[in-house]
Structure 1
């Protein structure tokens, strides 16, 4: 059986994703509804799967729509998920609905982000996070993660910068481990340079801690929640997520309500 460059490229990519996900050939074969022998042949470029099999393999590996498109391309098939621009009319109803969600979260801050922290939309309460930041960090496209950790951004006001910064960076590292990206690795290196070394004490519970943020009215203690669009069939929408900040205690809630009333 002859092996083409396309066969080999798909096989290498399939094996790379399987090893990245730490899944055995047998586990992936069972999940995708094929045999371990057939999967082995595909990884070695001795068998070229049909489009349906590529889709099943990508789904079993938990690939994102962008990653599934990439795997299809290596197998010689057209991408299945479209990728729209944010300003296209097709996405306008979704973005309008997200604006309503952001407004409904008031008086607490909330943002819609693209990958790696780029802000797409935000509600007015986000001002509590951006106040005092350098204008350079607030020029579009704003990156909320850089804003959070940069010494000219929120960092001077973050009372628990070491723990909070590690929380952000470890989440990004987990993302990089799952879906390698050279740009993300560079971004992690940049952010790591802004964060002081953590010195866990005897009561250390890990990095899942509230953000403690100084404000003129008093210290804010904020929790974050992240909502993703798991059923989106457009690459752009699938990569968006909504990050909402919630008060971790009643004094924080009262402070944010008072700010909203004043403004």
Structure 2
């Protein structure tokens, strides 16, 4: 169902008309004129159509099972008398999901939670197309969050590809897009969706921490080795270019070995003075 504008007129003018009908009707009844009775009844019926609309509030009007339209404009209005009014807040609201335990694409149990910022933009859909749109938002938010969490790994230890921890902005954007597709049915607009909690489940948190530490150590070692090889290569090239000493293959191998050990080693190198020849 699509929202449409309901018929409504200025409520202040309607109040004046209703008061005039009541006063006139009472005056006629006092004069024993029966015309005053229908005037009073008409005033009561018109009074049932008076409606006060607060800012960021809307009312959907239903008359004998038929949707007549929605009033969004704040103020005092006279609409269809005897119509049932169903109010919907248009304010921006937050929904904080529960901390969910799901398995990522690698099968690792992770804990994940998110906050969703939303507001109603179509009152007809929110009221008539879903049962309790607020509960619908909560259920669909958690469903979308579970779906996103199962599509990617918590962390990418190889340093390439998409992961929940390594790409928070992309994950939030994808979560918001999926939520919007799900909540269009309820006439709800998603303004923002972001992860508020992301961690390994307690039963594997210790093991995964060791894995992260090992991965970090390996990455650091790789950088150190690459830098050491570059430094050794530069040192040998300069020695040969400047003609400091002529190095055969055996001396080059010994020099490369000593330099790599001194650079890559975690401990400070202990200098050893060779008093004799190398042969």
Which TM-score bucket, shorter chain as reference?
A: under 0.3
The structure with more strand, counted as a fraction of residues: 2
Q: Name whichever structure is richer in helix by fraction.
A: 1
Q: How high is the TM-score relative to the length of structure 2?
A: 0.20
Higher-Rg member (1/2): 2
